[in-house]
């Protein structure tokens, strides 16, 4: 057992962890769905991500317990020394690094800073919760975490009226790609020009 798990129906999750606690656990997990909250007080350990309004992102990373879901970082290239990380830990670290940057590199992290203004909310901190696929066939783990991610986002949206802030469709790479496509540009021009052309 990685840590004490809290069971709520089909959810088996870690409760809410500090950044350091999350790094330690993520380094030993090959796959998980995760949620990140920004608040002053750690949420109750039995509170699911879909029940916590302070959650601003729900994501997933990893897959089966194989080397395909590990990453080797050779920091000391001269002496050929490094260490292995899980892809989940790398994903969580990237989120944390971008969220505290003065100038984030991606639009969604810039939006987080504009919306939450963390420099004006010094008492708030990040808490992370993992939902772990226990007793799941190795070949199904990636599907499990993907399904759990969408389920949590949907349930959060039903409860609070919209998805977590950084799960908005406009931040989805697929949405951006489609939104900038020739097909979409043409459809938009038709809509803005003459909707009747659709029914000709």
| pLDDT confidence of residue 105 | 86
Helix (H, G, I), strand (E, B) or coil at 183: helix
Q: Which residues contact 116 (CB under 8 A, 6 or more apart)?
A: 38, 56, 124
pTM score, whole prediction: 0.78
Residue 129 has pLDDT above 80, yes or no: yes
Residue 38 near residue 118 (C-beta atoms within 8 A)? yes
Q: Is 198 a residue whose pLDDT tops 70?
A: no
Q: What is the mean pLDDT of residues 169-198?
A: 54
* Model confidence pLDDT, tens digit, residues 19-37: 999 999 998 888 899 999 9
φ/ψ of residue 136, rounded to 5: -115, 135
User: Mean pLDDT across the stretch 176-200?
Assistant: 53
Predicted confidence (pLDDT) at residue 173 exceeds the cutoff of 70: no
Give residue limits of the domains in the chain.
Answer: 6-167
Residue 172: pLDDT above 60? Answer: no
How would you class 110 by CB atoms within 10 Å of its CB: exposed for 0-12, middle for 13-18, buried for 19 or more?
middle
Percent of the chain with pLDDT over 90: 42
pLDDT at res. 196: 52
pLDDT surpassing 90 at residue 162: yes
Backbone dihedral angles phi then psi of residue 51, each to the nearest 5 degrees: -100, -5
Q: Return the pLDDT at 78.
A: 60
pLDDT, position 85 = 75
pLDDT, tens digit, 9 for 90 and up, residues 61-119: 987 665 566 665 666 556 666 667 788 998 999 999 999 998 888 888 998 999 998 88
Calculate ∠ Cα 51-54-57, nearest 5°.
Answer: 90
Distance linking the first and last C-alpha atoms of the chain: 63
């Amino acid at each position: 057992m990685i840590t004490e798990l809290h069971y709520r129906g089909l959810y088996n999750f870690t409760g809410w962890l500090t950044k350091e606690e999350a790094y330690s656990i993520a380094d030993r997990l090959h796959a998980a769905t995760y949620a990140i909250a920004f608040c002053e007080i750690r949420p109750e350990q039995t509170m699911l991500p879909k029940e916590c309004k302070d959650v601003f992102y729900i994501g997933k990373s990893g897959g089966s317990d194989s080397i395909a879901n590990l990453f080797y970082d050779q920091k000391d290239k001269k002496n050929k020394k490094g260490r292995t990380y899980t892809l989940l830990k790398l994903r969580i670290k990237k989120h944390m690094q971008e969220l505290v940057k003065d100038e984030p590199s991606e639009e969604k992290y810039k939006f987080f800073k504009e919306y939450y203004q963390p420099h004006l909310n010094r008492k708030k901190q990040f808490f992370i919760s993992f939902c772990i696929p226990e007793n799941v066939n190795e070949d199904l783990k990636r599907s499990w975490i993907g399904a759990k991610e969408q389920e949590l986002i949907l349930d959060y949206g039903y409860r609070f009226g919209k998805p977590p802030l950084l799960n908005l469709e406009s931040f989805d790479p697929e949405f951006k790609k489609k939104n900038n496509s020739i097909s979409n540009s043409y459809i938009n021009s038709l809509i803005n020009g003459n909707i009747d052309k659709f029914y000709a």
